[in-house]
Structure formats: C-alpha cells, structure tokens
Amino acid sequence: MNSFQYVTAHTLDEAASLLGKNGRYLAGGIDLLGEMKDYIVSPDVLVNVKEMSPQSEFKAIRLTNKDACLIGASVTVAEIAAHDDVKRVLPGLAEAAGEVGSPQIRNVASLAGNLLQHSRCWYYRQPDIACLKRGGSTCYAQEGENKYSALFSGCACISPVVSNLSVILAALGATVQLRRKGDLHELTIPELYQEAWRNPSAHHSLQPGDLVLHVTIPLKRTRSAYRQQSEKAEFDWAMVSCAAAGNVAAGKVTDVRIALGAIAPVPHMVEEAHHFLEGKPLNDATASQAADLLLKGAKPLAQNGYKVPLAHTLIRRTLLALNA
Amino acid sequence: MAGWPNPSTVLGKAATRVDGPAKVTGQAKYAYDVQPAGWLYGMILRSKWPAAKVTKIDLTKAQSMPGVKAAILAGGDQRTVRYYGQELAAVAATTKQQCLDAIRAIEVTAEPLPFVVKEDDAIKPDSPRVFDKTPNLSDPKLEENGKVDAAMAQAAAVCEAELRTQIQLHHPLETHGNTISVQGDHVTAWASTQGVFSVRDGLAGNLGVPQSNVQVICDYMGGGFGAKFGPGAHGGIAAQLSKAAGAPVKLMLNRLEQGLAVGNRPSSIQKLKFAADKDGKLLAADIENYGSPGVGGGGQTAGGGGGSNIAMPYIYGFPNSRTKQFGVALNTGAASAFRAPGHPPASFSTESMMDELAVKLGIDPVEFRLKNDGNEIRRREFQEGAKRFGWAEKYKKPGSSPGPIKTGVGCAGGGWGGGGGGTKAEVQINPDGTVEVRCGTQDLGTGSRTVVAIVAAEAFGLHPNDIKVKIGDTNLPPSGGSGGSSTTASISPAIWDTCQKALAALQQQTGVTDARGANWEGACRKLGINPLTANGEWQKGLSSSGAGGVNFAEVEVDTETGFVRLKKIVAVHDCGLIVNPLATTSQVNGGVVSGIGYALYEERVMDRQTGLLLNINFDSYKIPNIADMPDIEVVLIDLPERGVIGIGEPAVIPVAGAIANAVANAIGVRVHSLPITPAKVLAALGKVPNVSRV
C-alpha cells in the first residue's frame, strides 16, 4: 500500500479537521485496509475514530426509550450479534450480524464499516482490471462472469450491495445519523444507497468527509427475520439475502417491510409488496405473491438467473419466519 | 510379506506425530520463518497481460529506490508472454513495502496480443493461437480396444452425456517460496518443497554451480499437493536476486500469485457413451476428452506431470473401449501434478455414468459395481463400505425423497499405483543409547518424519519419540520427491534395512545377542567412545503398489435454494501395511476434505474479456470450511501381507463422484459439471429460466 499518516481523533471537530482532502476515517478497517493493500484506494491520512467521545454515541447500543434502539457507528458486528436487547427486540438484526464474515471479522468490523463497505464484484477487486466502478469505461460483468451480479440496477454498474446489515436495517426502517460539514444529517437506508443505484462509481451516497455517528432503529415492528444463502455454510458472501420486519397479530401482518441484498446496488425494496401484504395472513400463497412483486422486472444475465428462484425462496421463508 | 515383523510392537499402531509439539508451539521453522543474517525480501513483477509482445523492461527507476539491493529481469526484456502472471522482473529490498514500491516503478513496454482463456473458445478454428506455430487443439491421443461400435449396437442400455470438470488450484496454506543464500558458488536454500533434491538440482542448473555446492533444507512445509517439485521460476529468481544483491533473499508468493503461475489441476470436457448388457455387465465405453493444461505442454501424462489426459477408461472392466484425448492450449498458467493427476475427473465421470446405467438397468448401483469391478480388494471395500454406510436402507429411487429438502446417497471408487524405491538412509547409534536416523526425504505434511521414527523404533524395540529423525536436507542420504503416493513405500523399507544393519553391527560389536528394547542402553554403553553408524537402502519385498478406495456419500439438497449439505461420507481405503493408522486416517480425512472442495466449491474463474484471473482470494476461490464438513468415517483395510503402499492420492479420488451421485440420487436429475453449486442445482431442476446446460 502507499504510505499514509495515522492520527487519532477525540472529538467530531478534530476528526473533521484531521481528515484533510484525501483522508479516510478508520474504525474496524476490514474493508479499507484490504482496498489500500490492493491499491484500490490510497488515502494519505487515516483518522482513527475509535477513541471519539462521548463513547456513548459511537460505541454503545442503547434503547433510547421505549420506541428506538440507537447503535453507535463503531459498535462491532459481534457486539450487535451478541447483544441481549438486540436479540430480544430486533432478532432479525442479531441474525444478520451473526452471518457477517467469520468470528474474527465480526470482532473487528464496525456497524458503519459494514454499511459503507465497497463493492465485492470480482472485477472491481481485481488489481489489474480498471472496471467501470474503478473509473474505467466498461462494466465487464455485463458480458462476463456475472454469477454474483445484480438483477436490478439503475446504471451500467451491476455490482450489488453486500452489506448484511443494510438489508435488515432497511426492513426495520432505520435511519442513519451523520455529520456533514459540521451539521447533523439524517438519511434513511434507501437514501444511504441511492447514489449507488444511479452512479456506477458510487458505493453509497456519502460525500467525502461525512462521518456516520449512529443508526437509529424504531422499535415499532416487533417481529423481524433475516435469511441468506451462500455457496458455503459459513464465512461466505450471500448469493441472496433477505430481511423482513413487521407486526403480526391475530394471524395478520401489518406494517411489513421486506428488503433483499446482493441483487441490486441498493437494498431492494418494493412498496407494492408491502401494500399487498398489509392486513393479510402470512402463508405460502401470500408470501409467494409478495415475492413475485419484489422480483417483477428482474433482469437476469447469462449466469445469475438462479438468483430469481433463490430470492423467491428466501422471501417466502423470511416472511413466514415472522409468524414464529 | 517377508521382512516385516509379525506381530509388531510399534509398526501399525497409532502414533502421534513426533513433530506435533514443535508445530503447535511454533518452534517448527518453515521456509517463511528462516531469517539468515542480512536477509532481504524478494518480489516478482508479473505480466498484467494474458498475451503480449514485451519490447522493453526498464529497471532504472526501481534500482535507485530506497532499500532496493537488486533488480533483475526474469527472462529477456524482449519476448512474448503468454499468460497473466508470467514472470517479467524481480527486486530484492530491505522491506516488503520497498519491494512493492520498486515493483511498481518498473516500466514495461508491451504490445498486447490476442488471447484465449476458455476451453470452448480455444477449440474454435478462428480462435487466437496460444502458440504461433501450433493450433490450440492438439492431435488426439487415441487408444482403442475391441469393437466399440458393434458392442454398443448389442447393448441393453446405453447412456450418453457430456461431463465437465473445472480447473482446480492447489492453494496450499503455505504459499510457494524459498529463502535462498548464494555466496560465491555455494548455495543454501530453505525451500517449501516436496523434493529437496529436485530443488537442489534445479538451482544448481539455474546458477551453473556444482550440485554438491548446493544445500537445500526443508524441515517443515505447509502443503504442496503436487505443485512443489523443483525450485520453480520463483526459486530461480530468488537465487538470482540473492546473487545480485549479495545477501540472502526470502521470496514467498502471495495468494494472487499462487493462483496464476504455480500449477493447477487441468480441466476436462468429457463426451461419454457407456453401454451395458441386460445382466449388468459393461460392454463398451466411447470416450472423448478435451482438457487444458494452460500454456503447459504434454497431453500424455495422465498419472503425473502437467498434462491434461485423464485416466480413462477408469477402474471397471470394459471389454471394448475407445479413448480420444485432446489437449487444449490456453493463455493461462501451466498445469502441474495435483493429488492423483488424471484420476478425480475420471472417477467423477465414470461413476456418474455407472449410476446412470444402473438406474436405466434397474440394478442397485453397488451391485452394478460389484459385477464390473475386477479388483478383488475394491469389491471388498464396496461391500464393507455399503455395510458401514447402511446403503441397503438408505438407497432409494432417484428423486423419491419427499419434501423440498431431499436426501440422496451415492458411491464411487478409485485406484492408484504408488510403490516405492530409490531411497538411502543412515543410522547413528550413540554410546548413551540415543539414535539418530538420517534420510534425505521430506515431510510433505503427511507424517513422514513419524514414519521414519516408527520403523526405527520397531527395529530397535524403542518408542518413536526415542528416535531423533533428520530429514529434509540434501546433505543427508538421498531420497526421491514426495509424490505419486510413493514416500512411505520408499522410506519405510530403507529405514528398516538400515536399522537392521545397524542392529546387527551393534550386536556383533557388543556381543549382546538381542540388543533391542530393555537391553538397548546396556548394549549401546558397550560401544565405548565411538558411535556406530550404518547405511542401508530400499529393498524389495517390503513394499508394493496398487491401492484402491471407495467413498459413500449422503447429502441433503434443498431444492428451493440449490444448497447441498453433506451429511456423511464413509471412506474405505487399503494401502497395504498401514504404518501409522492415525496419520493414515488423517491422510484420508484430508483427501476427503480436498475432494469436497473439488465437488462443491472450488473453481478457477478466468475472464474471457480481459484474460485475467477473477477469484484472486479465498473469499471468491472457495475452499471448504469446518462448517461444510460432514461426518467423515474412515475405514482402513489393513493388508500387511502386501507390504507398504501409499495413501496420499487414492484418498482424494472417489470423493467427487460419490457426492455427485448422491446429489443426482437426491434430486432425480444430474448436474453435469463440477463444482456442483446451488446455481447449477437450481438449473438442473429446471428452475432457472433460459439456461441450456449445467
């Protein structure tokens, strides 16, 4: 990797001023350091944000009151997976966190890092290929090895979002609080990724210098679930992932939200599917119809057509898990 | 077999590895760990093109960078490169980062050339040529026995299919590499190798120094699977860097390089037609195979080397057969020997066809194999395995398992030659009773050091831990490379012969009639001040060749996700006299794990458009994890009367065939290519729109 400066920030203002023009914030570093070693990114300064105060903002999981859970940006994925409150009130989030990488990765990777991780498309990650996302002119996946590529995209890049947490947080209706040019901003999960939908070089919607502070998850949906299918049993990227959240009472589901990962540059959501399910019982028939709505308009390529039936299965299984 | 003691006290009894404590405590030093005074990092600049005419390589900038002690060309500066990853130049510097920086400062001028990296493309007549003067598709190697067409015409059942196997990368956890010190015309090399003498001879040739001036040491190594013979291009480069820099150079490859330029298991595209009569006797096999050894040559080397020919027809008795094999050149790194070269693809395809025929004929698959396998030991293994596995209860009609998650079972067999020879050894018995056994073999990770200790301990009536074993050094009596499953059958007789000679000399010198066991220390004390040494070598009559094995697999296939979960594998193997059942079981476990990777996960993925490798790391080149492991039951058939035979390669052969058959049995349709991924299972089930073949 190229040489860089390493500094530690203790306050928000200090972090912003240390960052400079070509700096990056460093928390877990799982994705960032890998990209630096492969010369995919070459920041000149890394600002350590693990020592920021107040620690309660960045490194804690807390139920703010009865209606929201706030998780700091530096909280590790392992902490989310193991947290008693999360397991109790947001079971789908604990499941999704538990499926991230390996124990070693989960122990280091942060919430914000998982959400903001860059594309895993193997053309993007190949050090000797300048693909469209890396500033080249061609998305090689379109005509090439596209087994892991997206079924939906708003631009010529078809690398999908692979963050497990993005999918469940989208289903839970979470918001992301961040600091941008000294001000507090809030983005919904769809907003956090929408830039990647339309801009081939984007992985998310953040601008240079933006610093994620925490994620706020409303607790108004008491049921949530996450399912993914990988080629291997553990420690493998999802071919497709699916999360759902909602309330189930008297055999009927309300306020349900479903999101799919690894099939679009954004967590894939279809409002029509939510409207369709509102007030209905969750069973094979309704879940299957919702899956049809979610997958309508999918554009499979030569090698990723299997994601359509796979996603269909995962949608059904995830939705039915809300009944439990 | 005459010669081996019966009954034995140590031989054939489970022994933990004598070097286990050193390995788990980190005291064992690998090529990567060695740090001779003043050592430098070495690194290679590789071609970024799959094919190019290189016109200039400018090292000037790199040479003047901080910390850089040498920058050299790897081959000429004007030449044609034919694959992504081919060596162009190299640097040695004080730190790894200095190497990385210097590599990036080397300027290469090249004119890209047309290339081809996919077998199906390369076969086309208008494909770019890998080599200017020869077509990509070789002339076929033809073998014909009997009258295939006439036999097919009389058959009660004929099955036809195209089956494919992928290119598999070795990816040993310890990457290829050496630490090499060249001082004048003397060389010391610490190598990660399966053959210290092959590295010695290669380096001597590369540097133009006498072989006797080169010492190669390999105390421990972290896996090779057939790809670590000789110094390799990277070894020659490390030696040249050391010579140029005047300091030792450590040059270990990274994971990306490991996928490019140090070998692979060739692919196969097999067009097969098998026939049997109504009684279930095989009549004929018509076989056409296209496989790629990359830019490697030689299609004639099934059973070793880097060719793409496979061992067809395989293990069963085909009275009539026709085999046509083609090599397909590609602009990709050359193939090399890979654990049982030519056999796993042959077992996978043959066993797939066997199951298809059995189903067509309405004969139980195990019964069908028993009717057609001429090997008595393997027939016994099919029977024994079926019993242990519960085949009779578990086997059901294909696709008949109820519900979306379907269970299936399958079996497959394999066979391997092996055999030993060409090994010398030396034993030194000291007056205090300590024993040192010296042999220039190396431990590929299979437990060879422990084998030496076991055989010596048996001879002297001692415990394996009492024996000091020195191996992995060309200054020791010579032995061959650890390949072809020949190591144990080579070293065991040599050690036994040497120890018998030493024991006879000890008894003669001291007048002790039986110096073994309890009498050992007393006898040794009588030696006086001089240690006793004896030399010996491999002798006939203590080893033989020809090992077989069968696997039974049980899987669960989720027909809605395509995911295959392995539930159980029973692996039954024979390898003659089993020297150490614990290590042999471990070898079979390892073979099964590797075979699982081949069956379900591993595949080198090249990009047609850029000619580059896409799965450059373990997150996309998928090797099985502990979570993917089924219950593996190893059943060893001990046949001491046959002498010592190897197990390394047979252990991997039948795994993929058994798993493929179990998947087909579960879902009622066959996935025709490896690896059997969820995507292919869903396609085979007809659930993926617009997919023509899998």
CA dist B178 and B264 (Å) reads: 20
Residue contact B678–A308, C-beta within 8 A? no
pLDDT classification of A324: cutoffs 50, 70, 90: confident
Characterise A172 by phi-psi region: left (phi > 0), alpha (psi -120 to 50), beta (else). Answer: alpha
H or E element that contains B38:
none
Indicate the angle between helix axes B376-389 and B365-372, nearest 10 degrees: 170
Which chain B residue has the Cα nearest residue A101?
A: B619
Largest CA distance in chain B: 84
Phi–psi pair at A60, nearest 5 degrees: -120, 155
Question: What percent of chain A has pLDDT above 90?
Answer: 97
User: Which chain A residues are Cβ-neighbours of B686 within 8 angstroms?
Assistant: none
CA B525 vs. chain centroid, Å, equals: 45
Virtual CA dihedral for B185, B189, B194, B195, nearest 10 degrees? Answer: 20
Write the residue in A3, A235, A310 that is nearest to B682 by C-beta.
Answer: A310
Stated pTM of the model: 0.97
**Beta strands of chain A (E only): which ranges?**
5-8, 23-26, 45-48, 61-63, 68-72, 175-180, 183-188, 211-218, 223-230, 238-249, 252-261
User: Which chain A residues are Cβ-neighbours of B624 within 8 angstroms?
Assistant: 232
Per-residue model confidence (pLDDT) at position B306: 57
Q: Tokens 């799965």 belong to which residue?
A: B615
How many contacts (CB atoms, under 8 Å) link A and B? 97
Per-residue model confidence (pLDDT) at position B303: 38
Residue contact A306–B682, C-beta within 8 A? yes
Interface check B624 vs A, CB under 8 A: yes
Interface check B76 vs A, CB under 8 A: no
Residue contact A229–B563, C-beta within 8 A? yes
Residue contact B612–A129, C-beta within 8 A? yes
A244-260 pLDDT, tens digit per residue, is 999 999 999 999 999 99
CA dist A146 and A123 (Å) reads: 10
Read off the tokens for A157: 């890049």
Range(s) of chain A covered by CATH 3.30.43.10 = 1-53
Per-residue pLDDT, averaged over A186-201, amounts to: 98
Q: Per CB distance under 8 Å, which residues of A are interface residues toward B?
A: 1, 3, 120, 122-123, 125-129, 138, 140, 143-145, 147, 229, 231-237, 239, 300, 303-306, 308-310, 313-314
Write the residue in B612, B616, B690 that is nearest to A305 by C-beta.
Answer: B690
Interface check B24 vs A, CB under 8 A: no
B94-114 pLDDT, tens digit per residue, is 999 999 999 999 999 999 999
* Cβ–Cβ < 8 Å for B169, B264: yes
Phi–psi pair at B686, nearest 5 degrees: 75, 20
- How far are the Cα atoms of B440, B507, B580 from residue B435, in angstroms, in the given order? 17, 15, 20
Residue contact B601–A306, C-beta within 8 A? no
> Residue ranges of chain B with pLDDT lower than 70?
1-2, 297-306, 690-694
Q: Among A310, A316, A320, which would you mutate to test the B interface (most chain B Cβ atoms within 10 Å of its Cβ)? A: A310
Per-residue model confidence (pLDDT) at position B342: 95
Characterise B399 by phi-psi region: left (phi > 0), alpha (psi -120 to 50), beta (else). Answer: left
Range(s) of chain A covered by CATH 3.30.390.50 = 223-321
Per-residue model confidence (pLDDT) at position B304: 43
* Cβ–Cβ < 8 Å for B635, B624: no
Q: Contacts from A31-38 at CB under 8 Å and sequence distance 24+? A: A31/A113, A31/A116, A31/A117, A31/A118, A32/A113, A33/A1, A35/A118, A36/A1, A36/A2, A36/A4, A37/A1, A38/A125, A38/A127
Residue contact A232–B256, C-beta within 8 A? no
Alpha-carbon gap: A170 to the closest alpha carbon of chain B (Å): 23
Residue contact A234–B624, C-beta within 8 A? no
Residue contact B627–A303, C-beta within 8 A? no
Q: Among B48, B688, B693, which would you mutate to test the A interface (most chain A Cβ atoms within 10 Å of its Cβ)? A: B688
A199-256 pLDDT, tens digit per residue, is 999 999 999 999 999 999 999 999 999 999 999 999 999 999 999 999 999 999 999 9
**Beta strands of B528-627 (E only): which ranges?**
532-537, 547-558, 564-574
Residue contact A313–B620, C-beta within 8 A? no
Write the residue in A128, A138, A232 that is nearest to B628 by C-beta.
Answer: A232
Give the contacts of A311 (CB within 8 A, at least 6 positions apart). Answer: A151, A240, A242, A260, A263, A291, A294, A295
User: Which chain A residues are Cβ-neighbours of B85 within 8 angstroms?
Assistant: none
User: Which chain A residues are Cβ-neighbours of B688 within 8 angstroms?
Assistant: 305-306, 308-309
The per-residue DSSP string of A14-51 comes to: HHHHHH-SSEEEESS-HHHHHHHHTTS---SEEEE-TT
Per-residue pLDDT, averaged over A273-298, amounts to: 98
Per-residue model confidence (pLDDT) at position A313: 98
CA dist B343 and B336 (Å) reads: 14
CATH code, residues A1-53: 3.30.43.10
Write the residue in B608, B616, B683 that is nearest to A306 by C-beta.
Answer: B683
Per-residue model confidence (pLDDT) at position A252: 97
CA dist B46 and B56 (Å) reads: 14
Please name the amino acid found at residue A120.
R
Other CB atoms within a 10 A radius of the CB of residue B255 amount to 13
Per-residue model confidence (pLDDT) at position A65: 76
- As assigned by CATH, the class of the A223-321 domain is alpha beta
* pLDDT reading at A167 higher than 90: yes
**Beta strands of B63-106 (E only): which ranges?**
68-73, 79-81, 87-93
Which chain B residue has the Cα nearest residue A237?
A: B619
- Map out the domains of chain B with their CATH numbers: 20-24+420-537 (3.30.365.10), 40-113+171-258 (3.30.365.10), 375-416+544-694 (3.30.365.10)
Angle, vertex CA A311, rays to CA A306 and CA A317, nearest 5: 135
Interface check B682 vs A, CB under 8 A: yes
Please name the amino acid found at residue B416.
W
Residue contact B687–A306, C-beta within 8 A? yes
